[in-house]
């Protein structure tokens, strides 16, 4: 039976192995947090793109349907145009600044 006792015995952890295990655990926790924030950011971007797409579809449908089918008031279509124009202008401006900073 001494063989069985030896199997169940574990060597006492030393300070170096505890420090390595703690460092690895801390690194894994930080990586999980980074992944979580990354996926939340990607989700927020897709949500914003989807909302802008829905606004664009709504505005285009309101423009192409006959006058009897219009469900948006002039002030509402103006607000949609402002939001979509701001998004488009912001995207173009961001790309221009990005190109200038890269030197192209």
pLDDT digits (tens, 9 = 90+) for 30-89: 888 999 999 999 999 999 999 999 999 999 998 898 888 888 888 999 999 999 999 999
**Tokens coding 77:** 């279509």
Residues near 63 by beta carbon (within 8 Å), at least 6 away in sequence: 77
DSSP 69: G
Q: What is the pLDDT of residue 83?
A: 92
Predicted confidence (pLDDT) at residue 29 exceeds the cutoff of 90: no
Q: Which long-range contacts (CB under 8 A, 24 or more apart) does 92-99 make?
A: none
Q: How confident is the model at residue 12 (pLDDT cuts 50, 70, 90)?
A: low
92 within 8 A of 84, measured Cβ to Cβ: no
């Amino acid at each position: 039976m001494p063989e069985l006792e030896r199997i169940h015995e574990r060597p006492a952890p030393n300070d170096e192995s505890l420090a390595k295990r703690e460092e690895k655990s801390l690194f894994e926790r930080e990586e999980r947090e980074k992944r979580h924030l990354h996926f939340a950011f990607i989700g927020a971007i897709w949500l914003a793109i989807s909302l802008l797409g829905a606004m664009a579809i709504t505005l285009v449908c309101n423009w192409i349907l006959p006058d009897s089918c219009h469900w948006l008031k002039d002030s509402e279509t103006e607000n949609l145009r402002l939001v979509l124009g701001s998004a488009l202008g912001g995207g173009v401006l961001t790309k221009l600044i990005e190109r200038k900073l890269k030197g192209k």
